[in-house]
Amino acid sequence: MKKIIFSLIFFLTLLYSNEVKCVIEYERIYCKYFIDRSDNENGKRVLFIWHSPSGKDDRERVFEVPPYYGSVYDYRYLPGRENGEWTVEVIDLDTNESVKTTIKIESFSEDFFEE
């Protein structure tokens, strides 16, 4: 019985935990941080950190999330980004909790900037 209760609690924690997901579309990399709305009664401040493979193209941005909003996103243009595995970390500045995800850039075209 204890094992079933522990498994249920673990599953519910995963279901409602904050997470960050990234997709590549329209020459951009979009990363969206999902927030449990019930944890966002007063608004939040979150820090997006983009870690490039070599560290030469890292970026940090702070976002103010209004009360009861369920997500916030950041994006980077794909052309000009180095190939390799990027890590995107989002830190909740109110609780100091963080979540990470990775996204792989394998090849891109510079046609986006050509006229």
Q: pLDDT tens, 1-57?
A: 555 544 444 344 344 458 999 999 989 999 999 988 877 888 899 999 999 999 999
Confidence of residue 107 (pLDDT cuts 50, 70, 90): confident
Q: Domain spans of the chain?
A: 2-109
Burial 76-111 (b: 16+ CB within 10 A, else e): bebeebeeeebebbbbbeeeeeebeeebebeebeee
Q: What DSSP designation does 65 have?
A: E
CA pair distance 115, 21, nearest whole angstrom: 32
Q: What is the mean pLDDT of residues 54-82?
A: 93
Q: State residue 1's pLDDT score.
A: 56
* Contact of 52 with 81, CB cutoff 8 Å: yes
- Is the confidence at residue 59, as pLDDT, over 60? yes
Model pTM score: 0.76
| 2-109 fold | Immunoglobulin-like (2.60.40)
What CA–CA distance (Å, rounded) separates 71 from 65? 8
Q: What is the DSSP letter of 66?
A: P
